[in-house]
Amino acid sequence: MPPFDFQLRTRVVFGDGAFARLGDLARELSFTRVLIVADPGIVKIGVAERAAATLAAAGIASSVFHDFDASPDSAMVEAGRVHAAAFGIDSIVAVGGGSSLDCAKGINFVLTNGGTIRDYRGAGRASRPMLPSIGVPTTAGTGSEAQSYALISDSETHAKMACGDPKAAFRIAVLDPELTRTQPRVVAAIAGYDAISHAVESFVTVRRNEISDLFARDAWRRLERHYARALDSPEDPRARGAMLLGAHQAGIAIEQSMLGAAHACANPLTARFGMTHGIALGILLPHVVRWNSLVAGERYAALLGSPRRRSRDGDAAETLARRLEDFAVAGEIPPRLSDAGVPESALLELAGLAAQQWTGTFNPRPFDAGGALEIYRAAY
C-alpha cells in the first residue's frame, strides 16, 4: 500500500440555500474587508451582488473584481492584486466557475507573498501566510474549491501554470446546488465532463493512494450516474447536487493523486487554439484510456465496479472508453480534433508541448512526445 499524508484543508458546507450562509461563515472566520472575485458572467446574473449583500448583512465590507476571463492569466492576476491592495482587504471570497476560484487563489499568492504568479509555479513556494478565503463554485466542474492549486496562464507564452501551496486552499467551500441551476446546458456539459475526467484520471495515476481512490471512485459513481440527467433535467435537484458534490470529490482526489495524459494533451490545445478545457478532454479522454489500457486495464475495471457492468466485451478499458464517448455525445462535444478546427499539421508541435506538461508525469503509462502524438492521432 503506498504511503500518504492526507488532510482535508477545506470545510464543506453543502445544500440548497447554503449560499445564504456566506455572511455568517465569513464572520465566523473574522473577515472584515473582502475581495469578491467573480467572473463577468456571475456579475451579470447578480450572484456577485447577492454575495456582497449577504456579507453586508453580516457587517462585512466588500469590493468585486471581475476583470478576467475563462482562462485567467498572470496579467489578470496582477490587476486583481492592484484592486485588492487599493481596497485594503483581509480576506477573499471567490464566486463562479473554476476561473473565478483559480484567479482568487492567484491573487492571494501575489498579494501576500509578492512577485508575480510565475514565482509560485509548482508546489509550496509561498513562504509567508496567505489570506483566509471562501470558495463558492457555481458550476460542477473543476473542483478547484477542493484544491490548493491555481491554474493560471502565462500572459506571454499562454502556457498553463499550476501554482499550489497548502496555504492557498479555501478555508470553506460553499456547495449550493441551487447556484448551478441557471448555468446554460453547454456550460454544464463541458464542466461536467471535466469533473468526470478528473475522477477517471486521478484513479489511475502513479501518485494515487487509498484515500484518493475513495474520493475518485465515489466521484465517478456519482458523476456517471447523474451526468446525462443533469443536462436533460436541470430542474432535478438530486442530479444537480450529485454533480456538484461529485466534482468536489474529484477535486479532493486530484489534490492527492494529480492527473494524467488527458490533461497533458488538453492544455496545449487550450494554449495554442483556445479550445475549451472540457471540450479538449471530451475528445481526448477515451483515447487516453485506450492508450493507458496496457498498464491500467485492471484499474479501469475496478473503477467500473461490478463484473456485470465491465464485461460487455471483456475489456474494461474499451468499455470505459465507449462510456466516455457516450457522455461526450450527450454533452454535444465534437468527437474528433479535426471537427474542432485543429489542423493536422499542428499535431507534432502539440505533442512536444504536451510532453512538457507536469501533469503528464503522473500518468500510469510513461508519457512522452511520442505517446502524445499517438493519442492526438487517435483522436484526430
State the residues that interact with Fe ion by CB under 5 A: 194
Q: Which is nearer to Fe ion, 89 or 303 (CB)?
A: 303
Closest Cα partner for 70 from 163, 141, 166, 156?
Answer: 141
- Cell numbers that stand for 287 in this block: 483515447
- Cell numbers that stand for 77 in this block: 492576476
Q: Which is nearer to Fe ion, 102 or 194 (CB)?
A: 194
Q: Do residues 283 and 379 lie in contact, with contact meaning Cβ atoms separated by under 8 Å?
A: yes
Q: Residue 253 carries which side chain, given as an amino acid letter?
A: A
Q: Do residues 195 and 140 lie in contact, with contact meaning Cβ atoms separated by under 8 Å?
A: yes
Closest contact distance (angstroms) between CB of 159 and Fe ion is 16
Task: Say how far apart CA 189 and CA 185 lie, in whole Å.
Answer: 6
Closest contact distance (angstroms) between CB of 151 and Fe ion is 8
Closest contact distance (angstroms) between CB of 78 and Fe ion is 24
Q: Which is nearer to Fe ion, 89 or 162 (CB)?
A: 162
Q: Which is nearer to Fe ion, 130 or 372 (CB)?
A: 372
Nearest-CB residue to Fe ion? 194
Residue for cell digits 454575495? 51
Q: Which is nearer to Fe ion, 132 or 334 (CB)?
A: 334
Closest contact distance (angstroms) between CB of 15 and Fe ion is 25
Closest contact distance (angstroms) between CB of 277 and Fe ion is 6
Closest contact distance (angstroms) between CB of 180 and Fe ion is 17
Q: Which is nearer to Fe ion, 18 or 199 (CB)?
A: 199
